[in-house]
Structure 1
């Protein structure tokens, strides 16, 4: 008990110090997004319903067999992918990331809520359910988000930006970080 209390006494000031300063620019996440968004504008085409359904099916459920067999059809080789946790630039790295994600999860599915077609891109509003084991307990993360997608003429995604609150999803289940995330959200 004393060691847990000591850890908290040491950890809280360090976390507060990390929040006390403003980071210097450029802001990688935002700048990368805006740069790739501008670069991707001219080459995007709206996908047909079958292509969009294939994308949604790829994530419902996310599993290693589906990733291995469908990755080349779903994603372009050169891409921009950001799921708020990582930013990736090519299909092979994304495939490794998704395989590792599927390996850590018991099950993950994506339920579409709405599809918004805007000029040359899709905004897919979704609810994601992820089942995983943490510290020997099965957990469920259920969160809502939006994917901004741009497809090339071959029906492959080359721009994929997810907007979702990881503190509502995965972060709240992590030891130490979860209680603090929930406290910050409530205050």
Structure 2
């Protein structure tokens, strides 16, 4: 789950204070996402990892509304995921990856979901993680989100995305080079 980011910079003291306040408030407002966890334990991890805090700030700045959605006991890490009701506004209108971006002959988007996620230090959700998020609460009822695509599908030119319609979660495919104003991606980060 840990993606390397090359552009993280330490947050200024005020930025750090601000993002921690936002995350604490969201944590308290949405206890159904993490019923057995305490903010004190999460805060301890966040204060010890400036790079992850920078990534969470990037998730927040692009309207992802990151929150804790689980805990990996084996790795002793908390899972943060974009929990915005719709695909984050600051990450829409992107194709799937660099290869797809380069394959477009005209009307190229500025970047791709995979590249943007890497720059933020996060990863796209897997299909399983996307379904798990949908069990916590229904998201992407008007938008859709790119998800990690198995290599065998990507090698054939496709990519996967998900949404929630008609009371259920759907996983679809599209050409990886396609992009839409209502499709972005959701990130996940282990802290």
Tell which structure's C-alpha radius of gyration is larger: 1
Higher strand share: 1
The structure showing larger relative contact order (alpha-carbon pairs under 8 Å, at least 6 residues apart) is: 2
TM above 0.5, yes or no, is no
Higher helix share: 1
TM-score calculated relative to the size of structure 1: 0.24
TM-score calculated relative to the size of structure 2: 0.23
